[in-house]
Each structure stands twice: as structure tokens, then as C-alpha cells.
Chain A
Amino acid sequence: MTAPDTVQQVVIIGSGPAGLTAAIYAARANLEPLVVEGVVEGGPTGGQLTLTTDVENYPGFAEGVMGPELILQMRMQAERFGTSFVTEDIVKTNLDQRPFTLETASGGTIATHALIVATGAKPRRLEIPGEEELWGAGVSACATCDGFFFRDKHVVVVGGGDSAMEEAIFLTKFASKVTVVHRRDELRASQILQDRAFANERIEFVWNAVPTEVNGTDGQVSSLTLKDTRTGEVQDLPADGLFLAIGHIPNTWLFDGSLETDDDGYLVVEEPTTRTNVAGVFACGDVMDHTYRQAVTAAATGCKAAIDAERWLAAGGAEG
């Protein structure tokens, strides 16, 4: 670990809508923010939006916008006002001492007075037999990446939220049939996505069921063992692919023992601010929001975090 040459005013960990919006605001406040855009540990650089296609609910885009394009625009906007970027994962943080220090995967050290945590969340896995063994051989968490390989095949999507419906609808471009398996008898997804999924002739639903095993033949997914959540009855559902959309786990492991989390593992902030339990550390986006989890709410909390950090620095927080 090499010693840092300079101490940053504010460092932002994360490069999704929360982190990039924080960067735009911090840059415009002349704080010359440094964004550490992780590579893989917390999900892809640019966040979950980079794995989506059409984003139809982000205000300002009447005809919708592609997720990766939206992120690219935010990044360019942040860069225009003087944000710098480091494309690396952070592997360790020290928030016990001022300035805070962050260690990068290549062994570098970054020191900063204020820290904005915008590390987001990554897809939850089922943790059932066969899932790990058949990962990449029919099991996937990215329909936009892997849908292509399931042309004229039957795929299963597990989940009942917006992501599950978006994945199911997207997969009908390729698959001959998409079966949505959901543990309850109704969806959590927004009405417009539910309507679209129900109207799609290629989408079928299996209600009140949870997968208990992924089965393979010749190293590829061949079926899914399902258990009825009410009767306990077990059935085998033949399928060529399995796409997971069962929610996310917040990326907080870098802060174990230093930042407070709630029962679900999300960072706790002093509402309505973005202040964490460590003065000078602010949290925004999906790592602290288990209620809304939208691109626009992530951006909104990113804005709040930058303003909170700016005020904290202006009030002499870093000297205190």
C-alpha cells in the first residue's frame, strides 16, 4: 500500500446515477470530486442501468432512453465540470481516522476529507443446488447480455418485481416461451409492466412456487425443480435457461464494522439528510434505499449527498 500524495476534498465510490449525480453537484461546487468507478465487485462500472435497455421512466426523455446511454451522458456531464475518475475496485476502507483512506485493488491509496458512498446493490442469488455449477451454462442474472443465446428456447424468469417483468418481456424477443415463477400469487411489479407481461402471449406464470434445484444435462440447464409454497408439492419444469430477478443485496462489505446498517443490510442515514453515523461520510442510492430503488431516486439522493458533503466541508467538518 503506497502513501497518497494528496488529500481529496470529496471522493465518491460508485458510478451509477447516485454517484454520478453526486459528482455533478460536487464538481459544480468546485470540490473537484474523484469518482472511484468500481469494475466488478459491486456490479458493473456504471451500475445496474448499464445492464438494461429502454429506460422509460426517467424524466426528461419523452421517448425513453437506453440505460447505458443515460449513464454515459451523466458521466460526461460530471466530467465536464471537473470530475476525475479512477476505474478500479476499492478493497478496503479506513473511516476511523481523518482523512479517510481507501485502498484500491492495485494497492494504491486514496485519502479524502469527505466520502460519498454510492456503491449500489448487486443481484441476489437463489443459493440452491445447481445454480453455481450451471452459472453461465443457462443460469444468468442479465437478460440483455444472455437472452441472445436462447433463441426459440424456453426460459424461466424467477421474481415478481419490475426487473422480473422487464427481463421476461425482453426475453420474448428471443425465447419461444418465457415462464415467470413467483413465490406469491400476485406481482410486486408496477401496473404498466404487469399489464404488458399479462398481455404477452409468450409469457406464462407459475404462482406460489419457489425453485429448489437447477438441474442440468450435459453441463447445461435442462429443468428446474419447483416447490409449491402452499402445498409443498414438488414438480419438474423443463427449461433451457434460468434468469434471476429476485432482488438485490446492498454493497456494504467495505464498511463492515464502521457504518451502521439496518436489519436488511442497507446503510442507515439521518433522514432527511444523507449523513451516516460517521461524520463526513454520506450515503446515497441503492446502498441506502430499500424502498424506491429507482434511477431517479438514486440521482436525487446523490444530489443530496453532494450538498450535504459541501456544507459539511464549508462548516469546517474536516478540521473538527
Chain B
Amino acid sequence: MGATPVTDSAWTSEVLESDRPVLVDFWAEWCGPCRLVSPIVDEIANEHGEQLKVMKINVDENPGTAREYGVMSIPTLLVFKGGRPDKRIVGAKGKAALLKDLSDYLG
């Protein structure tokens, strides 16, 4: 399980048109701090998947989406609600801090 990979081409249907809020993890292989955040994002996907759809996008393979939303530092987590970015979390954080940042969406 964990976060589901998404690509530039599936972006609109998977993220913008989702009924639930979507948490997207922007990451890349060469990014050390991304490797710290990804397992936490996977845990959030497993534990809170009902309230929050959790996806990850590889910026190396999908640079268009990162550019469109002004992602210039990774890891960046964006929460989309109703097709728009609603929250931006930049940089690696621990699980407790992330859950606090996401509390609005976890009801």
C-alpha cells in the first residue's frame, strides 16, 4: 500500500477531480530528505486513507506538474481540495508534525 504514484498525464483525473482532498508528495530519487518523508507519507496513506487520498509524484519524470505549482524544493507536500492547492508543506518533518499540519483534513 502506501502512497499511490501519479504522473503528469493522470494528474487531472487523479488529483484535480478527486472527491476527497489529495495529499501529494513531490519527490526524486536523488533527494536525501525525500527518503525520510516518503515512509511517513506511506504510513499516513495506510492510516488515514479514508479521509485523505495520498499520492506521490516523481519530479524527475514529471517536471511539468512541479513547475506548474511552483515546487522549487523537495520534499514538498501539497494538499489539493476541489482541484486547487490548499496547503503547502516544504521540507522534511517528523510524523507528529506532519499530522498536525494535516489535521484540518483528517477530521
Interface residues of A (CB under 8 A from B): 39-41, 44-46, 50-51, 68, 88-89, 105-106, 135-138, 140, 142, 144-146, 148-150, 219-220, 241
Contact = CB atoms under 8 A, between A and B. Distances in A.
B90 interface: yes
A105 B28 CA distance: 27
A135 B90 CA distance: 8
A105 B96 contact: yes
A50 B72 CA distance: 20
Interface of B: 28, 30-34, 36, 59-60, 66, 70-74, 76, 88, 90-97
Given A44-B92, A50-B32, 16 more contacts: A40-B36, A40-B92, A46-B32, A68-B32, A105-B94, A135-B91, A136-B88, A138-B72, A142-B33, A142-B73, A144-B30, A144-B31, A146-B72, A148-B28, A148-B60, A220-B72
5 contacts: A40-B93, A44-B32, A135-B91, A137-B90, A146-B74
B90 A136 contact: yes
Name the residue in B73, B91, B93 with the highest tally of chain A Cβ atoms < 10 Å from its Cβ: B73
Contacts of A39: 36, 92, 94-95
A149 B47 CA distance: 32
Contacts of A41: 94
A31 to B, nearest CB: 27
A149 B91 CA distance: 15
B36 A145 contact: no
Nearest to B66: A149
A146 to B, nearest CB: 5
Contacts of B30: 144-145, 148
- Sorted from nearest, which 6 A-B pairs have the closest CB atoms? A136-B90, A136-B73, A50-B32, A149-B72, A145-B31, A39-B94
Contacts of A46: 32
A220 B92 contact: no
Contacts of B60: 148
B94 A149 contact: no
Nearest to A220: B70
Nearest to A52: B32
Nearest to B91: A136
A250 B25 CA distance: 30
B72 A145 contact: no
A136 B92 contact: no
A146 B73 contact: yes
B100 to A, nearest CB: 12
Name the residue in A89, A145, A150 with the highest tally of chain B Cβ atoms < 10 Å from its Cβ: A145
Contacts of B66: 149
Contacts of B92: 39-40, 44
A253 B93 CA distance: 18
A212 to B, nearest CB: 22
B59 A44 contact: no
Contacts of A220: 70, 72
Contact of B70 (A40, A50, A219): A219
Contacts of B59: 148
Name the residue in A39, A51, A135 with the highest tally of chain B Cβ atoms < 10 Å from its Cβ: A39
